[in-house]
Amino acid sequence: MEAVAAPAAGGWATERRDLVRGVSGGMLFGVPVLFTMEVWEIGGSADASHALAVLGVTAAVLFALNRTAGFRSTKDTRIVDAAADTVEAVAIGLVSVTLVLVVLRELTGSTPVGVGLGKVVYEALPFCLGVGLARHFLGGSGDGDGGREVDGAGRLDPTVADVGVTALGAVIVALNMAPTEEVKVLVAAMGPVWLVAMVAMSLAVSYGIVFVAGFTGEDRRRASAGSLQQPVAETIFCYLVAIGVAALMLLVFRRIDGPWDETLARVVVLGLPATVGGAAGRLAL
């Protein structure tokens, strides 16, 4: 058996951060399309030649993005590095989109392979653009905030500020989806287990965007004072704010009209995009 040297811990830490940054950028850019029924249908009915063409276009655009932005903290100056990062970015998109579609029950054990591939490839296009733009989305490496004021006079209480920006970000993203049929259609296919998975995914994505991806604002988030500013507590608290906003949006658009369990399921489903918006809002604070 061939012995393989273990990579350095620092290498894996950087790689994990880069990958989470890529997934986070993809979620920020791709989550609205993941909740669009027409894309499920277009992808599901596309023949393999169209899906291959879309995959090719995705890779070509990503290659160009990797030459200027990309998802890594280092810039690709060599063509070979940009090509390698393109392969990784496409894979990040394909795997992430597959996981989200499985939780949304748009991919199940009974989905024909060709249909599933079409859905994943078409959904991966906008997601991968987000991966390719990740470093430029919300700044860069999380190496600090250039001396921005953290505890200066006149600054809002950190917890109050968090609630405000989380709610604002959640409104901006969830507002577009709350009135659509997609939330109702998704809930119809999701049982309690998948709703719990949805909650877990929402929390993981929120934590990843704010505390792992290394976007601008991460250091400030970690340094922020307040009883609810510890990363795990903040993630849970802001998730509750986001699903509160999701419930409010559903109420505004009169999408709360069933029994409590149906309502809760709709709130949880809309909670994913709301949480993504809330996380982006906290970084932008």
Partner 1 sequence: MSAERRRNGAERTVFAVSAAILLAVVALLVVDLVGSDDPAAPVATASDPRRVEDAFVVPVEVGNEGDAAAFDVEVRATLTLDGVTEEEGAVVVPFLPGHATEEVVFRFTTDPADGELEVEVTSFAVP
Q: Please report whether residue 2 would count as binding partner 1 according to CB under 8 A.
A: no
For 6-37, give the DSSP string.
PPPHHHHHHHHHHHHHHHHHHHHHHHHHHT-H
Are 47 and 115 in contact, with CB atoms under 8 Å apart?
no
Residue in the structure block whose two tokens are 């990797």: 66
* Other CB atoms within 10 Å distance of the CB of residue 166: 29
CA proximity to 102, closest of 23, 242, 26, 201: 201
**Which is closer to partner 1, CB of 12 or CB of 143?**
12
| Interface characters, 214-253, with partner 1 (x: CB under 8 A) | ----------------------------------------
For the bound state, the minimum distance from the C-beta of residue 79 to partner 1, rounded and expressed in Å, comes to 12
Residue in the structure block whose two tokens are 């906008």: 126
Q: Token pair of 201, please?
A: 């995914």
Choices 43-51, 194-202, 221-229, 247-255 (CB under 8 A): range interacting with partner 1: 43-51
Q: Please report whether residue 61 would count as binding partner 1 according to CB under 8 A.
A: no
Q: Please report whether residue 11 would count as binding partner 1 according to CB under 8 A.
A: yes
Are 100 and 34 in contact, with CB atoms under 8 Å apart?
yes
Across the chain, the runs of DSSP E, i.e. the strands, are: none
Q: Please report whether residue 6 would count as binding partner 1 according to CB under 8 A.
A: yes
**Which is closer to partner 1, CB of 151 or CB of 181?**
181
Interface with partner 1 (CB under 8 A), residue from 28, 34, 39, 90: 90
Q: Token pair of 154, please?
A: 């006149």
Chain positions 107 to 126 lying near partner 1, rule: CB under 8 A, are 110-115, 117, 120-121
**Which is closer to partner 1, CB of 32 or CB of 114?**
114
Q: Please report whether residue 146 would count as binding partner 1 according to CB under 8 A.
A: no
